[in-house]
Amino acid sequence: MERETLLAKVKEIIEQLRPYLQADGGDLSFVELTEDNIVKVKLRGACGSCPYSRMTLKDGIERAIKQVLPEIKSVEEA
């Protein structure tokens, strides 16, 4: 997949996930897509200090992105 297309799709998925985090007082923002297909994001609001943020990141956000875009290696907090 072309890099610009991949980047656009990652951002689109993040925008679809944001309302779920916002409903719990948190938020998520895209930071970058690395050359080796690692998505960097920033958890904000309640998500930034939540003890379950790692689980949200890996089991929720990463799983959702990789389900649609299997070429993404991982999602990490920036």
Other C-beta atoms closer than 10 Å to the C-beta of 47 total 22
Annotated domain spans of the chain: 3-77
- At position 60, the amino acid (one-letter code) is G
Q: Please give the model's pTM, rounded to 2 decimal places.
A: 0.92
Task: Report whether 28 contacts 50 (CB < 8 A).
Answer: no
pLDDT tens digits, 39-64: 999 999 888 888 888 888 999 999 99
CATH class of 3-77: alpha beta
4-40 pLDDT tens trace? 999 999 999 999 999 999 998 999 999 999 999 999 9
In three-state secondary structure terms, 33 is: strand
Distance CA 36, CA 8 (A): 16
How much is the pLDDT for 23? 93
